[in-house]
Amino acid sequence: MKKATYQIWIEGEAREYPAGTAFMELAKEYQPGYEDDIVLVMFNNKLKELHKRIKSDGVVSFVTTRDKAGRKSYRRSVTFLMQRAVNHLAKEDGKQVTVRVEHSISQGYYCKLQGQIPDEDYISRLKQEMLRLVEEKRPIQKNSLSTDEAVRLFRELGMHDKERLFAYRRSSKVNIYSIGNYKDYFYGYMVQNTSYLKYFELELYEGGFVLLFPDKNTKETAKFVPSHKLFHVLKESTEWGEKLDIATIGALNDAIAQGRIRDVVLVAEALMERKIGSLAEEIASKPDKKFVMIAGPSSSGKTTFSHRLSIQMIALGLKPHPIALDDYYVDRVDTPKHPDGSYNFECLEALDVELFNQDMSALLKGERVELPSYNFRTGKREYKGNFKQLGENDILVLEGIHGLNDKLSYSLPKSSKLKIYISALTQLNIDEHNNLPTTDGRMIRRIVRDARTRNLNAKETIAMWDSVRKGEEQYIFPFQEEADIMFNSALIYELAVLKQYAEPLLFQIEKDCPEYMEAKRLLKFLDYFLPVPSEDVAKNSILREFIGGSCFHV
């Protein structure tokens, strides 16, 4: 028998609400106590949209635009708003114009119009149309279709990337969102209506435009900070994906289903080897470069990359010597700590900067130097007879998170350093309107590697990921544009291989864990991919650093 009212716990207090009350009503009641807009709720540890209704007793917590899930929902909804506005202007102008959301840049998404090159007038009109829709408080409605119905809908709408994507969908239902008559599918939840979407900006950039969102201040759009080098690496990767006819997950699944994936794997690895070889040739052409400084965020494949680069340099007559900057950690008792008392191994002060500069300067002068080795078990630096002396063809390959920061190598002449930024900049998109965050690819890499090499389960890796990201944003990303070279370590096929390793690990996370929601999101994401066995992955592939079987000690 259904109850007339249900007991709902909010902020430690029990309240009674009539059955069928929308979570929107609770959000309105409690919004004055929150600085940021409430856009979703957690109900009994499950994420819910505000239009959903109370059907049982339970615990409610509010999700705002400051929270990770709320921030993603806001960005997703503004993107949908922008698409709806592009569609309206196309009809108004009598043109066939559509928009593709290509990749993240700064605090926004880089978008390209198909059928028109945007100019200042167009961007102004687009912004005004978006603001008009915000002012009108248009509802963002959600309907569930069968997968077959969704495929037919996307075919009719000309959204062929989505048509391809859902041809491989195992789930029987697809959620379709709409603003008025404009319909689309999105990977994740939306806000209730357009009135939430006040904070955005549009900036012309590189033949397209950037749709900008708020950052930490959720009620102010972040300033556009162009990352020209990063953009052009992403553009190059996107172009290669298009040449292979694999720009989206659906296209990758086509290649797998049609038996073409072995060729895709071979071509992707050949492209990467060619890039590494070209980089080695560039280093060889600059004999004054004695220090190759490699840095990048977690799970970028820095170790395998440094080994493969070294091999290519050896083939050109150079004598590379890999050095891990971790060997210059101060003794653990001297390591700086976070406010909670845990060790901060990611800050620059965790390294003995003075000793590093002393050793490197001596090597540059041609002196013989004994280099340290850090014992992570004892937390102390040791010396084991590792002597180095640089000859004419010797070069040091230094790998660590602070490699691009000149404060680390302040005493070394700029002319002696070549800085390389490496990251896994995923070139695939889910479809034309849902980009694939590069952080998701790196997190899946790390979950697989941590389970294999560090005896950490997926729950532990997910729990520490926000801290890892915070360190990257503080110590790595601010220096990426100072790199002489940017290298993309993402492989177009890799998530189809990682799927079979990551899924069992994610399924181990229990529903009552705080990490369950993120695990569920990643499982839904991996469900888009058809699996690819790892047999054809080369032993020297960067992917082997994560799944195992590498010919290198990684």
Q: What one-character DSSP code corresponds to residue 536? A: T
**What are the start-end ranges of the H helices in 339-404?**
353-364
pLDDT at position 171: 78
Could you give the CA distance from residue 261 to residue 254 in angstroms, rounded to a whole number? 9
Residue type, 67: D
Contact in structure between 185 and 161 (CB atoms under 8 Å): no
At residue 498, the 3 state secondary structure works out as helix
Could you give the CA distance from residue 183 to residue 149 in angstroms, rounded to a whole number? 13
Report residue 194 as tokens.
């357009």
pLDDT at position 1: 60
- Residue owning tokens 């119009």: 113
Residue of 172, 156, 174, 155 whose CA lies nearest to 164: 155
- Residue owning tokens 């100072």: 482
Residue of 41, 28, 69, 46 whose CA lies nearest to 195: 28
Look up the pTM and report it: 0.91
Residue type, 350: A
Splitting the chain (554 residues) into consecutive groups of 10 residues, what average pLDDT does each group show?
Answer: 88 95 97 97 94 96 96 97 98 96 93 96 98 98 93 92 89 91 93 97 97 96 92 88 88 96 95 96 96 95 94 97 92 92 90 97 96 92 95 94 94 96 91 89 96 94 92 92 95 97 97 93 94 96 97 90
